[in-house]
Amino acid sequence: MTASNDMPQTPTTAAFFLQASIAFAISLATAVVGILYLPIDPWQRGFLGITLLFLTSSTFTLAKVVRDRQEQTSVRARLDEARMDKIMAEHDPFNRVA
């Protein structure tokens, strides 16, 4: 385990979120404009458009998978899992509550 997994994570600031959103919007818009103004046939333009759509959706999916994997390895998640394992091990389903 690396030391970076033991450090608490700081939340993303609003400014960083805004910068990332603007950068994404600009890059996607310029790619779309570039595809529209290429001197190519419509079917080639459509292929590039679908490719761009697939690239964008797979990027979001990859980001979610990376985030989920990181959350699973965080200290907090492992502590919560250990607590749940202890509670489940101590629970007797045949013990009636009076």
The pLDDT score that the predictor gives to residue 97 is 67
65-97 pLDDT, tens digit each: 998 888 877 777 778 888 888 888 888 777 776
Q: How far apart are CA 37 and CA 48, in angstroms?
A: 12
Give which of 62, 38, 60 is closest to 49, Cα–Cα.
Answer: 38
The pLDDT score that the predictor gives to residue 3 is 47
The pLDDT score that the predictor gives to residue 8 is 56
Alpha helix stretches (DSSP H) within the chain? 14-37, 42-72, 75-90
pTM of structure: 0.62
2-52 pLDDT, tens digit each: 445 555 567 789 999 999 999 999 999 999 999 999 999 999 999 999 999
Looking at the predicted structure, is the pLDDT value of residue 1 above 50? no
Q: How far apart are CA 1 and CA 78, in angstroms?
A: 13
The pLDDT score that the predictor gives to residue 71 is 80
Q: How far apart are CA 89 and CA 82, in angstroms?
A: 10
